[in-house]
């Protein structure tokens, strides 16, 4: 990320801001930083394993790759739109939910998003911990603890550190994937895998939904990493940078995962990291790849840990009527989240691959309606016009609970239920469609339309410009 040359712009190593608005004097960077960030985030072992699920759970290679690409493109549109309004709002994304849901009402999506962070973090910590364990020649549980400790320290440093790591991770990740793909193509007959084409609708739809879920799950925090950009930064450039970065990174990783799972068969589950590295090298090069696997997860894990602290602090701040968080408090927020992720990773290592797919698809049903409300609110209702002081005042213009919006959110989730197909629950319509999950499409369209109708009725009570406290 480029650093602004404006006089007076300060970018300390340890971030001092937390949930508060980023003033113009502290803005820095360019839209291109969003590309390197989201490219680096997605070039990791969890994305590889996620792509592998399309084959592990029944799909063929050719149609799985097509389905995953379609899902990436569709999901990245939702993700990119949310990234684009980061510079204008200048706030962490989830605190903005108080505008739609109310100061206390925003706790509802915040709790669900916190589950998302913990789930992703547990899965990523498990896989990266396996790589660390191979490097240090220790047990998996100790590798998991070591990786969690590194995540804790980096997430505490904050925004600038995350972007710096992402730059390095994107370069290292690209080089590693080029090497691993070359090794894969050299030693294995990929053509024969692609030649077998057996289109099964439910497997194809699963691949689309899996990739879309991966992209949409970034929605609750994608704008957090654009909020330091100058407010004048082009929304189109941010949208394209974030969308292209996430699509290229995730599709490359998931494509490798599809090939790996097809080659491994039943041997893939439970040995994901070892098998992926084994496709590329042995000996000293294998150790280098294990390091890259662990390093590649650092960016995403730091994002999850950093954003989890902001979500938790936002929940607590709503009831304290205060949103300022010190660096010391940030450390303890992150420590709690990382510790929980480490415990889940250690205890759930034997059933990760199937549990993760069920978790991702099921949780999508709760994140998608929130994404629809967030996008419609920004582009058609509030824009970037907020009363910043009222965001911390339950008795202010945004009230404690915004019941109409909460009702729209609940309706969106209920409308999705018949269309969900996951290991946790399968709805009647999804079952009639051969277990095909299209709930996220229903959630986006229906919730967006409902919120647009409800919210436009109260636009006259909303501010027509950004209101910044003078004290």
| Sequence spans of domains, the chain | 29-354
Distances (CA, A) of 121 to 39, 75, 237, 357: 18, 20, 29, 14
Residues in the chain, pLDDT under 70: 1-18, 158-159, 163, 266-271, 279-283, 320-327, 348-357, 360, 458-462, 469-471
What is the pLDDT at residue 321? Answer: 64
Give 46's Cβ-side CA count (13 Å radius).
30
Give the predicted TM-score (pTM) of the model: 0.83
Token code pair at residue 439: 């709930």
What is the pLDDT at residue 1? Answer: 35
CATH architecture of 29-354: Orthogonal Bundle (1.10)
**Rounded to whole angstroms, how far apart are CA atoms 83 and 86?**
6
Shortest CA distance to 87 belongs to which of 218, 226, 225?
226
Shortest CA distance to 300 belongs to which of 74, 88, 73, 44?
44
**Rounded to whole angstroms, how far apart are CA atoms 408 and 159?**
33
What is the pLDDT at residue 5? Answer: 39
């Amino acid at each position: 990320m480029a650093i602004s040359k404006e006089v007076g712009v300060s970018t300390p190593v340890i971030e001092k801001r937390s949930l508060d608005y980023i003033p113009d004097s502290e803005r820095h960077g360019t839209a291109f930083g969003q590309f390197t960030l989201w490219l680096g985030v997605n070039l990791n072992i969890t994305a590889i394993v996620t792509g592998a699920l399309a084959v592990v759970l029944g799909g063929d290679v050719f149609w799985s790759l097509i389905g995953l690409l379609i899902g990436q493109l569709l999901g990245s549109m939702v993700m990119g739109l949310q990234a684009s309004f980061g510079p204008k709002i200048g706030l962490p994304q989830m605190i903005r939910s108080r505008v739609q849901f109310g100061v206390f009402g925003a706790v509802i999506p915040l709790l669900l998003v916190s589950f998302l962070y913990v789930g992703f973090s547990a899965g990523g910590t498990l896989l990266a911990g396996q790589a660390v364990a191979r490097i240090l020649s220790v047990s998996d549980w100790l590798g998991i603890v070591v990786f969690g400790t590194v995540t804790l320290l980096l997430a505490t440093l904050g925004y600038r550190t995350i972007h710096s790591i992402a730059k390095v991770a994107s370069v290292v990740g690209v080089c590693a994937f080029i090497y691993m793909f070359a090794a894969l193509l050299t030693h294995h007959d990929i053509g024969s895998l692609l030649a077998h084409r057996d289109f099964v609708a439910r497997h194809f739809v699963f691949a689309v939904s899996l990739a879309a879920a991966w992209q949409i799950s970034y929605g609750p925090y994608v704008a957090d990493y654009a909020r330091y950009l100058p407010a004048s930064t082009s929304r189109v450039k941010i949208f394209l940078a974030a969308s292209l970065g996430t699509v290229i990174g995730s599709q490359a990783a998931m494509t490798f995962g599809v090939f790996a799972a097809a080659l491994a068969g039943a041997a893939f589950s439970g040995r994901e990291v070892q098998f992926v590295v084994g496709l590329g090298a042995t000996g000293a090069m294998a150790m280098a790849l294990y390091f890259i696997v662990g390093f590649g997860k650092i960016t995403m894990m730091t994002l999850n840990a950093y954003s989890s602290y902001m979500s938790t602090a936002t929940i607590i701040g709503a009831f304290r009527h205060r949103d300022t968080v010190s660096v010391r408090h940030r450390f303890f927020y992150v420590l709690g989240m990382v510790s929980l992720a480490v415990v889940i990773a250690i205890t759930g290592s034997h059933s990760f691959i199937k549990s993760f797919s069920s978790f991702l698809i099921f949780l999508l049903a709760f994140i998608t309606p929130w994404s629809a409300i967030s996008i419609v609110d920004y582009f058609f209702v509030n824009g970037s016009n907020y009363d910043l002081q009222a965001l911390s005042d339950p008795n202010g213009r945004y009230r404690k609970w915004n019941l109409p919006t909460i009702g729209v959110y609940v309706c969106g989730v209920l409308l999705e239920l018949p269309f969900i197909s996951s290991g946790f629950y399968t709805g009647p319509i999804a079952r009639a469609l051969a277990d095909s999950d299209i709930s996220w499409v229903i959630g986006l369209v229906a919730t967006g339309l409902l919120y647009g109708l409800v919210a436009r009725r109260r636009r006259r009570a909303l501010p027509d410009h950004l209101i910044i406290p003078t004290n």
